[in-house]
Amino acid sequence: MSSNKFARARIAGYVGIAFLCGLIFASGFDLTHFSWAQSKTAPKPSVSEVKSLAEVGSAFEAIADHVTPAVVSIQNERLAPQRSRQRANPNAPPGFEDLMRQFGGESQQPQESSGSGFIVSKDGYILTNNHVVADADKLTVTLLDRRTFTAKVVGRDPTTDVAVIKIDGAGDLPVVSLGDDASARVGQWVLAIGNPLGLDFTVTAGIVSAKGRGLAGLAQDNYSIQDFIQTDAAINPGNSGGPLVNIRGEVIGINSAIASNTGYYAGYGFAIPVTLARQVMNDLIEFGKVKRAVLGVSIQPVTPADAKGAGLPDIRGAKVSAFTDDDSPARKAGMEIGDIIITAAGTKVETVPSLQRAIRGYKPGQTVEVEVMRFGSKKTFRVKLAEVPDDPAQRVASSDTRGGDGVEPVDARSYDKLGLTVQPVPSAMATQARLSDDARRGLLITDVSVTGPAYRELFARRDIILRVLNPVKKEIMNAHDLDTALSGIKRGEVITLVVYDTAAQSTRVVSIQL
C-alpha cells in the first residue's frame, strides 16, 4: 500500500519537473511571457493611433467653431391668465364676478420656456421645433455674440414638429450647411449643439445610434411623421430645435426629443431628419403651410402574426389599420384595411417610417404605385396622393372611455381559442364614449387571459371587436358572429381582427396566432 503511494508521488514529481523544464525551454525561445492577469500599466498607443485621435479632436473643434455661431437661443414668452385667489362673494349680483375679472380679477402672468434653433439664411430665417415656438406671445432670439432680436413665426407644422421663424435687422448672419441624412450611417460621429438647462451654446458628442425610429408617445394625429434619427449625444430640455451635425460640419437633423423616465438625458436622443425638415421649411416659407402628400391611411407596424397571416416570408412592411376618411386616396384606389404595404413608389417598405420616407418626396396630385400583401395575395394599386387637410382633427383620448367600474359583464361569452371574454357594448358606455354606430354594434372585450394568445394584443374594457378580416371576412355584431368566424380556425393559424380602441378613439388591425 505504502509502495503504491510512493510510486504515485514519484510520478507526480517527474511530471512537475518536466513542466518547469518546458517553461524554461519555451522562455529561452521567447515563446512564453509571464505577466499578471491585470497589468499595472496599459500599453502605450502607437504614434498612428495618437495621430488619429488628435485628428478626431481637431475635427470636433473645427465643427464647433464653424457651426456654433449659427446656433441661437430662443425664449418663448406666453401670457397665461391667472385667476384671482379671492373667494367668490356669495352675495354678489349675477355677472359681478365676471365684471371684476375684467378689471383685475384675472391677471396676465408670463410663462417662459426656452429652446434652440439654427440660422439657415443670411437674411434671418431660423429652423427650429414647432413645440419650441407654439403658442408664443413673444419670441426672443439670442445669438452667440449676445445680440438679441424679437422674432416672428413664419410658419409651423405640428405633424412634423418643424417651425420656421425670422429675425430682421441683424445684417450678414452666419449660416449652417444642410447635409443629407440619408447618407448618415449607424455608428458615425455626430455633435449636438444647443442651449440645454440654461447652459447656452453647449456642444456634446456621440454617434448615430439608430435611424428610422418611431416614437408613438409623440404622435398627435393620423398625419404625424415618425422617422427619427437616434443618437447618444447628450440632449436635454433646451436642446430642442438645435442642430445635429455630422463629422463634416453639416446639419443632418433637428434635435427634438429624449426617451427618459426623469425627463433628462438618459442616453437616448432623437432628431428630425434634415431632408424632411428642409421640405417643410421650403413649403412654410413659400406657402405659409405644408403641402404634404398622403395616402390617406392610418398605419401600424407589422407583427410576426401579421406577417404569417399575410403570407410574408419576412416580418416587414406597414399595416393599414384605417382610412383617414371616405375620400382617402388609398381607399378609392382599392386598398383595404388589413393590407400590408410592402413597396411604395418603387421603394421597399421595411417599417412605418420607411413608408413615410418613400411618400414624402412626392407632391399632392402625383400618382404612386403601391404594392400590398392581402392574406396571401399580392396586389398592386396606383394611388393619386392627396394633401394633408389644413386643420386635421386631433384625436384626444378621454380618461373615462375605458369603461371603468360602470361596465358590468352582461351576456358575457368566453373564447378559449383567443383567451378573452366579450359582451355587447353597454349603452351607457356607448353614450359616454360617443361611439359610432359601427362601434356600438361590436363586442366589448371585458377580460383577457394572461395565458391566452390575445394577451398584450387586445385590452379589456377598452377594445371593441368590429369585424374579422382573415381567414374569413365577417362583421361582428354578436357572439354568434364571432362563433362562426372562429369555428373553422385551427391551432397555430392566424385570425385578423379590426378593433376600435376607445382610449385612442381609432381603429386598429390585430393579428393573433391561436
**Is 227 a known active-site residue?**
no
**Would you say the C-alpha torsion 49, 52, 58, 59 has a positive or negative sign?**
negative
Range 293-387 has CATH code 1.25.40.10: no
CB burial readout 414-429, b (16+ within 10 A) else e: ebebbbbbbbbbbeeb
Predicted pLDDT at 395: 33
User: What one-character DSSP code corresponds to residue 150?
Assistant: E
Q: How far is CA 17 from CA 10, 11, 173, 296, in A?
A: 11, 10, 81, 83
Helix (H, G, I), strand (E, B) or coil at 149: strand
Partners of 439 in the beta sheet?
none
Q: 92, exposed or middle or buried, with CB in 10 Å at 0-12, 13-18, 19+?
A: exposed
Predicted pLDDT at 86: 46
Q: How many helices (H) and strands (E) does the chain have?
A: 11, 28
Predicted pLDDT at 51: 59
The three cell numbers locating residue 240? 430642442
Predicted pLDDT at 216: 59
Angle at alpha carbon of residue 234, lines to 229 and 236, rounded to 5°:
95
**Is 131 a known active-site residue?**
yes
| CA–CA gap between residue 247 and residue 401 (Å, rounded) | 49
Considering only CA atoms, which of 301, 242, 235, 306 is closest in space to residue 268? Answer: 235
| CA–CA gap between residue 256 and residue 271 (Å, rounded) | 5
On whether the CB atoms of residues 350 and 358 are closer than 8 A, the answer is: no
| CA–CA gap between residue 254 and residue 243 (Å, rounded) | 5
End-to-end CA distance of the chain: 70
What does the radius of gyration of the chain's CA atoms come to, in whole angstroms?
Answer: 31
| CA–CA gap between residue 509 and residue 514 (Å, rounded) | 16
E strand or H helix at 470 = strand 463-470
Predicted pLDDT at 116: 94
State in words which class domain 177-287 has: mainly beta
340: amino acid identity, one letter: I
The three cell numbers locating residue 421? 371574454
The three cell numbers locating residue 35? 505577466
Considering only CA atoms, which of 347, 361, 223 is closest in space to residue 296? Answer: 223
Exactly one of 73, 113, 114, 131 is catalytic; which is it?
131
Domains 177-287 and 404-513 fall in the same CATH topology = no
- The CATH superfamily holding the domain 404-513 is PDZ domain (2.30.42.10)
Partners of 444 in the beta sheet?
423, 464
Predicted pLDDT at 374: 92
Predicted pLDDT at 223: 61
Give me the residue label for grid cell 391611411.
Answer: 297
Predicted pLDDT at 95: 47
CB burial readout 191-221, b (16+ within 10 A) else e: bbbbbbeeebbbbbbbebbebbbbeeeeeeb
126: amino acid identity, one letter: I
β-pairing verdict for 250-258 and 177-178? parallel
Q: How far is CA 395 from CA 70, 162, 219, 404, 479, in A?
A: 37, 20, 10, 20, 30
On whether the CB atoms of residues 106 and 133 are closer than 8 A, the answer is: no
Exactly one of 73, 116, 161, 501 is catalytic; which is it?
161
Predicted pLDDT at 425: 87
Considering only CA atoms, which of 257, 277, 259, 239 is closest in space to residue 159? Answer: 277
| 70: phi then psi, degrees, rounded to nearest 5 | -95, 0
| CA–CA gap between residue 410 and residue 125 (Å, rounded) | 61
The domain spans of the chain are: 177-287, 293-387, 404-513
Exactly one of 240, 256, 298, 354 is catalytic; which is it?
240
**Is 240 a known active-site residue?**
yes
Question: From first to last of its 514 residues, what are the pLDDT tens digits of the chain?
Answer: 555 555 555 655 555 555 555 544 444 444 444 444 444 555 666 656 555 666 777 888 888 899 999 999 999 988 765 444 444 555 545 544 444 444 444 555 667 888 999 999 999 999 999 999 988 889 999 999 999 999 999 999 888 899 999 999 888 899 999 999 888 999 999 999 999 888 888 999 999 999 888 765 555 455 666 788 999 998 888 899 999 999 999 999 999 888 777 777 777 889 999 999 998 999 999 888 888 888 988 888 899 999 999 899 999 999 998 888 888 899 999 999 999 999 998 889 998 888 888 888 788 899 999 999 999 999 999 999 988 776 543 332 222 333 333 334 456 778 788 888 888 888 878 887 888 888 888 889 888 887 788 888 888 888 899 888 888 888 888 888 888 888 878 888 888 988 888 888 888 889 888 8
Predicted pLDDT at 142: 94
